[in-house]
Structures are given as structure tokens and as C-alpha cells.
Amino acid sequence: MLRSKSTWKIPPADAAAAARLSKGLAVSPLMGQLLSARGITRPEDALSFMESECGHDPFLLKGMKEAVPRIRRAIQEEEHILIYGDYDADGVSSTSLMIYLLRHLGASFDIYIPHRSNEGYGLHNHAIDWALTQGVSLIITVDTGISACTQIAYANERGIEVIVTDHHEPPEELPPAYALINPKLPGCPYPFKGLAGVGVAYKLAEALLDGDVPPEWTEIVAIGTVADLMPLTGENRALVRRGIESMRSSRFPGVRALLEVSGASPGAVNSVHIAFGMAPRINASGRLDHAGRAVSLLTAEHMEEAVQLAGELDMLNKERQLVVERITEEAVARLEALEALPPVIVLAGEGWNVGVVGIVASKILERYYRPVIILDIHPETGMCKGSARSIPGLDIYAALTSCRECMDHYGGHPAAAGMSLHRDRLEEFAAALAAYASEVLEPEHFVPVTETDGEIPLGALTLRAADELDRLAPFGMGNPLPRFVIRGAVVKEARTMGQGNRHLKLALQQGGDVIEAVAFGRGALMDLLPVGTSVDVLAELSVNEWNGMRKPQLMVQDLAVPEAQFFDFRGSASAFAKSRRLFELLQCGEPDRTAVAIVRGESARQGRDWEGFELWGYDNNGSLHPLQADKKEAPAAPSLLCLLDMPESPEELEAIHLLFPEAENVALLHPIRSGRERLQPPSREIFKLLYQQLAALTASPLPEREVLAALCRRCSLNIRMVASMLDVFEELEFIRRADGQITFVVSPASQSLTTSSHYQRLGQMAEMERVFMEGSVPQLREWLRERLYRVSVS
């Protein structure tokens, strides 16, 4: 049994709606089921979603009617304008778009983006002072400013007017700006609230250009919207779709260079390439250097400059990956040392680069699945700057608002936020968040859940269906890549691939249907998925193109083996290492899972690190006992039961069954005995030969030890076999045992061998040893199913 990483949530099926959509749109049944699972039940709604051409009048945005004439007057009167942006990919995109807009309008302008580490988020007074020295009379913020009450008041005092364009959650007190443009403002009638900062900037461009916006500008909108994890629904969907289409033949040198260094083919670029190729490199600029370098790339006018800048961002991104890895390891070490995890993880450290703490928070959240705040502490001032990432059950912006008195500044969304505070308030801050979370979070909130698009038979995952899915693109937040659950598929082939065998490639079969599946980063599971294993899979459907051939392929996101497994590593030269490796694979990051190893005697644990295992040994009476002093009771359902020595009697097998009746997985790791060392099935011929030799040896009483040795030599039987046969003779009163000696009974009563319980037991032991030593996989499965576990032998 292999557990999935999360609970797969299956939406209720609406077969009638799915059939109606499939027929009305002339699409595959899979497409019909997918649309209905996402709440689209009418063909006309589906067409509207797929065509995604919706847009809204920019003047519906509150503040737009005031902002547009003020900007036009500034341009007409040749005022110097400052574009004030943010240092993340949305802020970089917003700033770049405004540069294109003001260039297009012939404006006089400068840009200012604060340094993430040295200055931090938001509008700053010293930047306003600098703007004044540059002759700035109007500041236009992009992707920032909605919380800058004191700073905008300061600008007003200095004679600079400020227009704020932002999309973050507005605070209760709004800044005294000349105009505030944010779809989330109270009373704003704009119908779509999910615009990114760059989306709001684009609406300003629409208003200033009377709707005649150059179509290629949507490329910049697409980058910022996808990178900032905005929902790809409504107007965002239309903007990003148009942007990606334009990007496939982009005229922007910066976009072309960024695609190249990201390894994306321009003609096939999609939202995934933006999210995982372009956005990390843009963000790396603001995380480890200054975001101005990324703005220079997106606004570059010459290819040579763009190629150089893209290469620099690529190197910064590689450096960023190393920094994230180091901080994550330090954070995990501190968490592992805790007796219990708090409901909200708050960790702070000196030298934790403030530019990457958000990424670290995401990694810690993925590992422990609870809200996380990671902060960098300035060693001299003691000021902490950090980022938060949260789970669906906790609105982190609301949580921060509940303890806002602890912080100097904060802002963000329900799922992510940023904040600054002094280290002296860290303890108070963490306690306040824990108290708030304890009131909000229930136990079920700490269980990761993955939304799926339904349970699908393998036969429905066709090439036609894979091609049709492109009609639902672009994919991202609010419109995720479709994920399907396939249950009861059988592993037909399995192999690892890639450097270091990191990835897993499977051929899955269900009935007569077979499809290839790739699981990136899951190569280690190869040992758990031998051919014939029945698996449940959560996967995305894609198209594999190779040498002009196209076929459907699954990209595995999660995988489970729903039944207990039986791992056959009999005769392994490294049984201990195999045991530990199996347990690590099956543990799946869950520290509460247990493993049991059963050995004969105590020598197996010498010189071995059995941490995480419970050791049990066979008793002489056929029962089991713990080999560790602190273990008294056996776990009824260990995740792994390793038999490093096989049971040698029905009593020992029954003892295993009684102690561990619900073991999730069983591994056979016992040595293989040669034929001479094994028990033989009892027969009249063997007993007749032994009886004759016994009669010749024991005319008078002899020590049992000498009798056993002599009989082994004369009959070519091992000592275990001879001792078991003597038990039969004793039971039938053919011999007598007393004081360590054996006496032959000359004229015993005539009795059939089969009446002896020892004879029957010897037959059971010989059969058990044969199956454990040489039985095929199907024989093991059936034999153990009847006698011990209901397992699926792999």
C-alpha cells in the first residue's frame, strides 16, 4: 500500500450535462465531463468560456475619470512623471507596461522600484524626496500604493500629486491620493475584481488611448498576471490568451530572449512556460539584485542587449535556487527539533535573504501543510522582513490584520502576504497568529486536498481528447490544468529515466487500453511498483510528440497503491538496507508511520541503525517478543512489516498474524536455504529409512545428540528434518526420550504415520518453507491470502 500525497476530491458527476455538452459542442465525452465538472453546463456558456473575449469599460474603475485627465494634462504641460513600481514579476510587468504607455504618449518620465532588501515593499518618503529633486510633479504607482497613507500625505505636503493603481486588498483607511484605481475599492462598480497590478495598468492604458492599445502589450499583461497567480478567468483569461498568442511571434526582444533562456519554444509557449520559466527569472532580479534589470529586459529595444540581460537573469535564478535550498534546510532542521508544530509556522533568521523568503515559505508549506511565515532579521537594526504563504482554510491577510499592532507594515492576499516588524515582537506576533488560527482552523484544514476533474476510465484519455483540452487554455489559478483520477490501472511496464534515474516512466493498462505515463521526480518509486501492481493515479493528459508521431501521455501528479503490497526481496544480500529503503519510500514524509522488522535472535540488530523500526524476535515457544526494552505493545497496523527471517512453524506464522493483523505492506527479506538445509515433505519412504537406521543405532540407549548426528550422516538429512521425524516417532511410541537419551522400542503398537499430529505439522512446515523459499509470486499471493494477509503480491 502506497498512500497518495493528498486527498483527491472528486466532483459530483452530472452525466446528463456532460452528454449534452459533448453532443452540442461536438467534442469528446471527456471534454463534456470536464466542462460539467467545472460548473459549465450549457453549450453556449462553454463556447463563451473557450472564446474568452470578454472585457469591460476601463472607466467603470473608480478613480479612472479623475486619473485620465490629470495624466493627459501632465503630458500636455510637459510635467515630469514618476512611475513607482514593485519588485516582483507583476510589479516589473506593470512598470514595463507603463514605460511603453508613456513612451507612446511622448511623456517625460522616470521610474523608481525600491530595492527589496535595502528598502522593502511600498512607497517610501526618501523616494519622494528623490523624485522632488528630479522635478517630478506626478507619481503614478503600479502594483503598489493602496496602503501608503502616510507616504502619500507626505508627497502631497511636498507638492507632488499621486495616482495609485493597485490590486491588493485595500485597508480600512485609504490614502489621500489624487486618484485611487483598484477594482477592490469599496463602491467600485468594475465587474471583474481579479485583475493583476499589470491588468489595472493595462486598463489605464485603454482609457488613455481610447481603447486603441497595441495588441502586443498584452504579452506584458500575460507575464504579470500568470506570475502573480491571478485567476485565469473572466477578463484575465482574455488578456492572457491574447498575450500568449502574440508572444508566439513576439516583436519584443526581451520576451524573445527570455523565452530562449527559459528553454521554451516561442511557437508553442503557454501559461506553464510563463509560470515556471519566465516568471522565476524575472523575480530573481528583484530577489537577489534589483528589479530594474528585469524592467530593462522587458523594455529592451535591441536583441543584443536583451540576450545579455536574459543571461544575467538566468544566472541570478540559479543562484537563487541555491540560496533557497540552504535556507529551507535550516528551517526544516529547526522545525524537526520541535516537539509539536504550531498552527502557524513562524521562523526568522539572520542571513535569510529577504528576496527568497516567500519561496522558502512555499516549500515549508508544501512539506508541513500549514500556514508559514519566514522572516529575515537584519543583524544591526533587528528589523524583520518576511513573507507568508497559507492554506485554503486560513485567510492570511485577515490573520495578519488581527495582530496588526505587532507589525510596522503588512499587506497581501488571502493566500500570500508580506510584513515587517522588530525582532522584539516576534514572540508576541507568533503567539497572536497561533491564537487566531486556533479559532479558525479545524483538523480537516491540515489535510491537503487536491481538486480533480473526476474519475475517468483509461480508454477516455485519447489523442482527440488531449487536443481538445487546448481549447480551455490558458491554464493557471482559477482555471487549473485538468487533472483526472484513474483507478485500478495495472503497471504493465516500469522503468526509470533521466539523470540519476530521477524520473519514472510507466505503461498503464486498464482492460484493453494502454497508455504511457511519466512521473517526474518519482524515480525512487520504481521499487514499489513492480509489473502487475494495481495503482490509482492522479494525472494530467498531454500529447507526446516524437519523430513525427503523436500519442496521448499522462503526466502523473500523484499516485497510490490502494491495497497492501507484498515485496519479494528473498535472498537479498543487503536485507537491512532494503528494509530501510522501503520504509523511507513508504513513509512519504509522515513521521507517525511505523515499521517492524522480525528477526531470529538478536544478532541481526548488531551494528545496525534501526531507528524508526520496532524489532521483534521469535521465541522458542513459537510466539514473538520485542527486542527493544522500551517496546511493550506491537503496532497493529505498521506501514511496513519486514521478515528478515522467515517463520519456521505454523505457530510462528500465527503469532505474526495475531500481533500485526493489519500491516499495510509486507516484505520478504529472509535468506534462501539450499535444498539440503530445507525440510522435506514427509513420506513413508523417508520414515522407513530413518526407522531402519534408528533401529541399528539404538539397541541400547544413546545420547540424543549422538543419535541426531549419526542419522544425519546415514540418511543425508539435515538436523531439523531428523529432529522433527524423531518427534513423530516419540508421539507414536516408537522411541522413548528420557534424560537426554533415546531408547528404541523393539515391538511398538502398530500405528499409521498420518495419525501423528507431529507428522501433520511436519508436512505443514515443509510446505510453508517451500513456499517461502521458492514459491512463485502467484503462489505466495494465494498461500498467504489463505493463511495470513489479504495482500496484493507485487
Residue 440 pLDDT level (bands cut at 50, 70, 90) = very high
Most confident of 576-590, 611-625, 702-716: 702-716
Between 633 and 132, name the one with better pLDDT. 132
Domain of residue 474, residue span: 453-560
259 and 374 in a common domain: no
Residue 26 lies in a domain: no
The set of cell numbers assigned to 213 is 492599445
Banded pLDDT at 662 (limits 50, 70, 90): confident
How many CA atoms are closer than 13 Å to the CA of 364, on its beta-carbon side? 33
CATH no. for residue 539?
2.40.50.460
Identify which has the larger pLDDT, 673 or 554: 554
* pLDDT band per the 50, 70, 90 thresholds, residue 450: very high
Q: What is the pLDDT of residues 756-790, one digit of tens each?
A: 999 999 999 999 999 999 888 778 878 877 776 54
Last residue of a domain, one of 380, 414, 448: 448
Identify the band that residue 791 occupies on the pLDDT scale cut at 50, 70 and 90.
Answer: very low
CATH code where residue 690 lies:
1.10.10.10
Which pLDDT band, with edges at 50, 70 and 90, does 590 fall under? low
Residue with cell 523616494: 127
Cα dihedral: 114, 115, 120, 126 (round 10):
-50
Q: What is the mean pLDDT of residues 244-248?
A: 96
Q: Is the per-residue pLDDT at 734 higher than 50?
A: yes
- For the ranges 31-40, 252-261, 739-748, the maximum mean pLDDT occurs at 252-261
Instruction: Grade residue 794 by pLDDT with cuts at 50, 70 and 90.
Output: very low
Residues 569 and 656 in one domain: yes
Spell out the residues 6+ positions from residue 242 whose beta carbon is closer than 8 angstroms to its own: 215, 218, 222
pLDDT band at 226 (very low <50, low <70, confident <90, very high): very high
Mean pLDDT of 671-697: 90
User: Which of the four pLDDT bands, split at 50, 70 and 90, describes residue 604?
Assistant: low
Q: Are residues 209 and 353 in the same domain?
A: no
Average pLDDT over the chain, rounded to whole? Answer: 91
Which of 74-83, 158-167, 674-683 shows the lowest mean pLDDT across its residues?
674-683
Same domain flag for 429 and 535: no
657 and 730 together in one domain: no
Task: Mean pLDDT check: name the lowest of 114-123, 165-174, 263-272, 628-637.
Answer: 628-637
Do residues 115 and 173 both lie within one domain? yes
- pLDDT reading at 792 higher than 70: no
Question: Does residue 584 carry a pLDDT above 90?
Answer: no
pLDDT (mean) for 521-550: 91
Choose the final residue of a domain: 516, 531, 560: 560
How many C-beta atoms surround the C-beta of residue 779 within 10 A? Answer: 13
pLDDT on residue 120:
78
- Do 665 and 684 lie in one domain? The reply is no
User: Domain check: are 548 and 658 in the same one?
Assistant: no
Is residue 18 assigned to a domain? no
Peptide bond into 29 cis (omega under 30): no
Helix, strand, coil percent content, the chain, rounded in steps of 5? 45, 20, 35
CB burial readout 204-238, b (16+ within 10 A) else e: bbbbbeeeebeebbbbbbbbbbbbbbbbbbbbbbb
Is residue 575 over pLDDT 80?
Answer: yes
Query: 547 pLDDT exceeds 90?
Result: no
The C-alpha torsion from 475 through 480 and 481 to 486, rounded to 10°, is -170
User: CA 289, 292, 295: angle at the middle one, nearest 5?
Assistant: 130
What would the mean pLDDT of 333-354 be, rounded to a whole number?
A: 93
Q: Average pLDDT in the 484-492 region?
A: 96
Say whether both 209 and 355 belong to one domain.
Answer: no
Question: Each residue of 382-430: pLDDT tens digit?
Answer: 999 999 999 999 999 999 999 999 999 898 788 889 899 999 999 999 9
Banded pLDDT at 602 (limits 50, 70, 90): low
Q: Can you tell me the distance from the alpha carbon of 462 to that of 480, in angstroms, rounded to the nearest whole number?
A: 20
Distance of alpha carbon 440 from alpha carbon 654, whole angstroms: 48
Domain assignment of residue 87, yes or no: yes
The share of the chain scoring above pLDDT 70, in percent, equals: 98
User: Do residue 220 and residue 207 come from a single domain?
Assistant: yes
Q: How far apart are CA 412 and CA 168, in angstroms?
A: 6
Tally of structural domains, the chain:
5
- How many whole angstroms separate alpha carbon 248 and alpha carbon 226? 16
Q: Is the pLDDT of residue 321 over 90?
A: yes
* Alpha helices in 413-536, H assignment, sequence order: 426-440, 463-468
Nearby residues of 737 by Cβ (< 8 Å), 6 or more positions away: 704, 726, 730, 743
Check whether 315 has a pLDDT greater than 60: yes
Residue 648 resides in a domain: yes
